[in-house]
Amino acid sequence: MLLETLRNEVLHANREIARRGLAPHTFGNASGVDRTGSRPLVVIKPSGVDYAKLTPADLVVTDLDGKIVEGSLRPSSDLDTHTLLYREFPQIGGIVHTHSEFATSWAQACRPIPCLGTTHADYFHGPVPVTEPLTAEEVTEAYVRHTGAVIVRRFRAGGLDPVAVPGVLVAGHAPFAWGKSPAEAVEHADVLEYIARLAFRTALLNPSVSAIPVHVSEHHYQRKHGPKATYGQKSW
């Protein structure tokens, strides 16, 4: 069985998004990529399979063009989005797509999530961006691939670093999050849902609220992720 370690990581990531309430029913998927071999290979959840029933052998292995390398089940219907993001964002090693309640609400409203507090600033370097809606032609031609394309377009147009901004809202659809591994992608998806919920409630309490001052958000982001980060413990 190919990529046994990565299969287990991806299996755990899929179970975690269900356990954390980020993907009710089968509304989500997680994947990981192995870039160490002669060609990168993706491990992804099969389409429509209950998270609790998944086994490592059920996961599907494909190349970055979506061609199945190993697996008897049909891969996630979002496969072409995952593979496009892996091709365009070589820094990432895991992707999670959910329909978590509050993040999806912001996506359906076609609104970015502003940085209203330090919880947000600790993880996202700026607002959580939202894409442009897909055109009728994009949906008809290749909906899933163009979902990835509008994400990449949003990041290119905004000069955004996918490492510093580890997630996005697809307009009218739902969030995608990523990280250096499937486990980190789950963490970012979970944080994204949390800050979406905080932002929603903050805007209800104070409809005229605005983003926190840049010097505060920048301080919080840099103390955790900058070259002189002070958060956490040193690696010895």
Check: CB of residue 170 under 8 Å from CB of residue 154. Answer: no
End-to-end CA distance of the chain: give it in Å, rounded.
35
How far is it, in rounded angstroms, from Cα 75 to Cα 217?
39
Q: What is the DSSP string of 52-103?
A: GG--GGGSEEEETT--EEE-SSPBPTTHHHHHHHHHH-TT--EEEEE--HHH
- pLDDT higher than 80, residue 226: no
State phi, psi for 34 to the nearest 5 degrees: -110, 120
- Taken in order 178, 180, 182, 183, the sign of the CA dihedral is negative
Q: For residue 43, what are the β-bridge partners?
A: 32, 61
Give the lowest-confidence range in 189-198, 205-214, 215-224. Answer: 215-224
Q: How confident is the model at residue 191 (pLDDT cuts 50, 70, 90)?
A: very high
- pLDDT higher than 70, residue 232: no
How far is it, in rounded angstroms, from Cα 110 to Cα 114?
13
% of the chain residues with pLDDT over 70: 97
Strand runs labelled E in the chain = 28-34, 41-44, 60-63, 68-70, 94-98, 167-169, 175-179
Residues with a known catalytic role: 122, 231
Best CA proximity match to 106, nearest among 205, 217, 193, 209: 193
Every domain of the chain and the residues it spans: 4-225
Q: Over the stretch 130-161, which tens digit does the pLDDT of each residue have?
A: 999 999 999 999 999 999 999 999 999 999 99
**Six-digit token string for 36:** 């160490």
Whose structure tokens read 């269900």? 18
Q: Over the stretch 62-99, which tens digit does the pLDDT of each residue have?
A: 999 999 999 999 999 999 999 999 999 999 999 999 99
Query: What pLDDT sits at residue 25?
Result: 87
Instruction: Give me the CATH code for the 4-225 domain, please.
Output: 3.40.225.10
